[in-house]
Structure 1
Amino acid sequence: MSTQPAARHDAHSVGAGSDAATAERLAALADRLYAAWAQPAVSRRDELLADCCVPAVTYANPLGEAAGILEFADLIGEFLAPYPGHRPVRTSGVDVHHRRARWEWGLRNSIGQLVLAGLDVVTFTERPRLETITTFFGPPPRPVYTFGAAPI
């Protein structure tokens, strides 16, 4: 019996104003974005971001925000400095409609353990290139229910 390497097959959700080919292109853009995040060399990070983002890209996460590729590249360096060897990866397919998309991601340490998960919500140009990126860390807060008894 021969062994074959694992192959990734993403399922994408495509809504109005988009198509499967756009979802595939956005998945590739997301993967390039995370390649930039994993790049320790600032000049190479700039190149990778220029390949997937518009020059005036805006980025925001709960800890900071940036405008433009150079600022974004610097913010990535600041964010990952305390986490050497950590690499972000896309962990879901892409959900896309009307030039907007979202996907889940995870930050993995040097041995592949997930240490942080989140969601990216983006807008993109027709070309497509990422125009705005909004990152959320962790799952959304869940509602808390309290139950009590009323006196009879």
Structure 2
Amino acid sequence: MRLETITPDNYEAALGLSVRPDQEDLVAPVVKSLAEAYVFPEHAWPRVIYDGDRLVGFLMGFFDIPWNDRPDDVRAGLWRLNIAADAQGHGYGRFAVDAVCAEIRARGGDRAYVTWEPRPGGPEPFYLKLGFRPTGERSGGQTVGVRDL
């Protein structure tokens, strides 16, 4: 498994990634993420996930974002995670989360944040299994989780 930056050679394949139909309300499509990365280039870290030559997912980390516009609480974490419907359950999501956490550590951070939709069938068990714990905060109706690095 490896991460690659978004390039003219792979962006169309990234745009074609789709999650399972029951997950479409849980994560924005890749096209929205790439638009956000374009608008917020100083904060966004978009990458595609490959297994050999096969594109299996997309992630976008975030860095140096003040929480609730408080300059004393600057955060980094996983902004978006899209694993292709037919690639789920093979460790790609764990790989993506670990890659974002490694990048946070490389940039001097000691915590990773993520948000998830709190509903049956949502990703909460996945994030809890990876060591995230709810902070008690909400962001846009979603649960905020943190993982110490």
Q: TM-score, normalization: structure 1?
A: 0.28
Larger relative contact order (CA 8 Å, sep ≥ 6): 1
Q: TM-score, normalization: structure 2?
A: 0.29
